[in-house]
Structure 1
Amino acid sequence: MAVEEVFYTLDEFDTEFPADSVEWCPAEPFRDVLVCGTYKLIENKEGAKDERCKRIGRIYLLRVTDGGKLQVLQRIHTSGVLDMKWIHFMDGENNRILLAVADSNGYLQIYELKEKESKTELQLIAEERIDDDNEDVMALSLDWSTRGCVSRTSHLNSHIAVSDSQGRISHFTWHETDNLIKDFTLRAHEFQAWIVAFDYCSDNIFYSGGDDNKFLTFDTRTGSIPVLCNSKHTSGVTSIHSNAVKPFMLATGSYDEILRLWDKRNLKRPTSEINLKGGIWRLKWDPFTHQYLFAACMYEGFKIVNSNYDMSIIGHYNKHCGISYGCDWSLLKKEDVSRLKVSSGETLISTCSYQDCALKLSAINFNICES
């Protein structure tokens, strides 16, 4: 199968503002639900960019309906959205689906997905500013410590790390009483800290990447100094994703266009790498085999990479006209896709891009889902 035949576009949604983040809900019965975040910087009358209080955005909550069409369930007007991550807590009858959001006004927000009277919507239940002294700091990325298992049986020891535009990482603890407590903030990078990601095998370990080209490893048990500083990337480090089932595998992406795989037991040099011919803004392991990486490659569209043996590109989606920023796999399997009356496709994926303000829904047509 040729790489361009892997994707089949089903629908497109005009996000009105530039779109930079998309995430599928991991929890039943809402796996046909996804969110898309947007971010727009407003210019003042003189044409210069006023960096304060002029960043706006929206969160769109959408559902896939029959025939693979996108239906808008909710529009939330907010500041610019830079990153979002879902988590699902199952604790007896206390079944909760939460969405953490990093925004351009420097807040970490927690929304809860609720269904009342057949209406599905997000409700804001908590928020904390990452820096009380500087309103110009933007929250750039975030990760839950528990996303190695996106459905957990308890709220206990659930942490969130947030990176910011001043190069710092803030560490929060989420309490089941709907409280966010900031544990500490540490200086990680000289410039923007583009990405933060937990190690999904240890809640104590997290990684960060920044515009200073550094890829850092932190251990909360040892203090605020990184336990490892890697400088193999030749441009800013923009994406890091731990593999949830392969305990020693980690992927990083960079403006230098190279996707690198690492063995966490030896982070001095990558185990393999491949040039994707575009700056890599986001990387997502597939949720079925954990073998394939979905990459948003900025000016080179979206690509799926097989991580086995010698890495290879098996899919290239270039139907967007703007910078490719957001991508994600749904957890819908082939039988779910069939129930949605989509004639072909193993699962559904979503992509979003900046200048063309577009969210696209596609089916992928290669055997990825587990039986």
Structure 2
Amino acid sequence: NLTFFVLTYKYNFATMSEDKTKQIITLHKYKTEFNADSVEWCPHKPYQHFFVCANYQLTETQERIGRILLFSITPANELQLCQTVNTSAVLDQKWCLHCPILTVVNAASAIEVYKFENERLMLITTCTVPCEALILSVDWTKEHEMICSDSKGNWHKLELCENNLVLQNTAKAHDFEAWIAAFYSWNTAVFYTGGDDALLLTFDTRIGTAPVNKNRVHQAGVTSVHSNINKEFQIATGRYFRNEGGRFKNFHFSVMMKMCDFGMCAI
């Protein structure tokens, strides 16, 4: 299901100060039918009231199917479904940083690029990575480059050139699933991958395809990496952990990292 929330703050006019008590208010709920695993707001004006919701479903015949649902919030604050795009099971999606283009990665080892125009998503190109794996994550740079990770522990670097995706490089990073790949906002020659082997790896494309740093602080699968666009030398990471029965207990925001001369250290 898709649930739309808003986070509000209380303001005390008597003391002219902000009440730190936060309230989460549910504005909308929507039955997506398939499992909803990713939501991304369009960051570009005048389309910032649009967002996409990615779906993933494993059928009884073990087929992985998916959808991209395009929504908008109307001036009357109503949730409106604008478009449904049927595709393979979607694992991740990201908007391009400087134009309304959406990249979607899926269970068919494919990377799909959609142009958002006239309030519709239009497929402009597809690239299949020769890895026979699920593409698990994708991230953009401002230079039309992207980084992906897959279920076999690899990363793939691509570039969008005149509406065509060009695979630039592929390398093995992790022994198990590479859950996440993300660029460093302050220098896009640097990117990170996080894997089910509990490693957070740092890469520098100016040096080669081998990691320049291996960080083992998480002690569990690294599932999320986010570079702080407002503060240099800082990234946030997330991990999952299992309960005693071996099942996923929940996702856990784990540790803030800081770039040091010798790599990454916890703070």
TM-score by structure 2 length?
Answer: 0.85
Deviation by residue 1:313-334 (Cα, 9 ceiling, x = unmatched) = xxxxxxxxxxxxxxxxxxxxxx
1:37 aligned onto 2:33:
no
Tell me if structure 1 keeps the 8 A contact 2:198–2:220.
yes
Report the CA distance between 1:43 and its aligned residue: 1.7
The equivalent residue for 1:199 is 184
Comparing 248-257 and 160-169, the one that deviates more: 248-257
User: Which position in structure 1 is the counterpart of 2:137?
Assistant: 141
Q: Which secondary structure state, in structure 2, belongs to the residue aligned with residue 241 of structure 1?
A: strand
Q: Distance in 1 between matches of 2:229 and 2:126?
A: 27
Contact 1:142/1:162 (8 A) holds in 2: yes
- d(CA) in 2 for partners of 1:268 and 1:224? 18
Structure 2 residue 187 is matched with structure 1 residue 184: no
Structure 2 equivalent of residue 161 of structure 1 = 147
* Structure having greater relative contact order (Cα 8 Å, sep ≥ 6): 1
Q: Which amino acid aligns with 1:101?
A: V
Paired with 1:258 and 1:114, the residues of 2 have a C-alpha distance of 36
In the other structure, the counterpart of 2:14 is none
1:101 aligned to 2:104?
A: yes
Q: Which amino acid aligns with 1:10?
A: L
Q: What residue ranges of structure 1 are gaps of 5+ in the alignment?
A: 45-49, 90-95, 147-156, 272-371
Q: Partner amino acid for 1:222? A: I
Q: 1:230 to 1:111 in 2, by over 3 A?
A: same
Q: Letter of the aligned partner of 2:121 in structure 1?
A: L
Residue type of the alignment partner of 1:35: V
Q: Find the aligned partners of 2:216 and 2:231 in 1 and give their Cα distance.
A: 24
* CA-CA distance at 1:6 after TM superposition: 2.2
AA paired with 2:265?
R
Partner of 1:251: 236
Q: Tell me, yes or no, if the aligned pair for 1:33 and 1:61 is still in contact at 8 Å.
A: yes
- Out of 159, 179, 184, which is 1:173 matched to? 159
Indicate how the Cα distance of structure 1 residues 138 and 269 shifts in structure 2: closer, same or farther if over 3 A, else same: same
TM (norm. structure 1) is 0.62
CA contact (8 A) 1:11 1:68 kept: no
Q: Over residues 181-226 of structure 1, what are the superposed CA-to-partner deviations in whole Å (9 max), with x where a residue is unaligned? A: 0001000000000000000111210000000000000001111110
Which runs of at least 4 in structure 1 moved beyond 3 Å after TM superposition? 1-5
Instruction: Give the whole-Å Cα distance in 2 for the aligned partners of 1:102 and 1:223.
Output: 25
C-alpha displacement at 1:66, in angstroms? Answer: 3.4
Write the distance in 2 (CA, Å) between the matches of 1:3 and 1:139: 40
2:256 matches 1:261: yes
Aligned pairs for 1:198-347 (under 5 A) are 198-256=183-241, 257-265=252-260, 267-271=263-267
The residue number in structure 1 matching 2:247 is: none
Please list the CA deviations of residues 139-190 of structure 1 after superposition, one character each: whole Å capped at 9, or x if unmatched: 00010022xxxxxxxxxx4210010010000000111x10110001000000
Aligned-pair Cα RMSD in Å: 1.6
Match of 2:64 among 51, 55, 72: 55
Instruction: Tell me: CA distance 1:88–1:196, structure 2 relative to 1, closer, same or farther (3 Å).
Output: closer
**Contact 2:218–2:254 (CA under 8 A) maintained in structure 1:** no
**Residues in 2 aligned to 1:37 and 1:57: alpha-carbon distance in whole angstroms:** 7
Say whether 1:7 aligns with 2:24.
Answer: yes
Distance 2:219 2:106 in 1: 28
The answer to whether the 8 Å contact 1:196/1:208 transfers is: yes
Instruction: Return 5+ residue gaps in structure 2 as ranges.
Output: 1-9, 11-18, 242-251
Kindly state the Cα deviation for residue 88 of structure 1 after the two structures are TM-superposed: 4.7
Q: Distance in 1 between matches of 2:195 and 2:134?
A: 14
Distance 1:3 1:107, change over 3 A: farther
> Higher strand fraction: Structure 1 or Structure 2?
2
Q: Is the 8 A contact 2:194 2:224 kept in 1?
A: yes
- Distance across 1 between alignment mates of 2:83 and 2:20: 35
Q: Which amino acid in 2 is paired with 1:104?
A: A
1:240 maps to a residue whose letter is: V
The one-letter amino acid of 2:235's match is L
Structure 1 position 87, deviation (Å): 1.5
TM-fit CA distance, 1:5: 4.3
Q: 1:69 aligns with which of 63, 70, 78?
A: 78
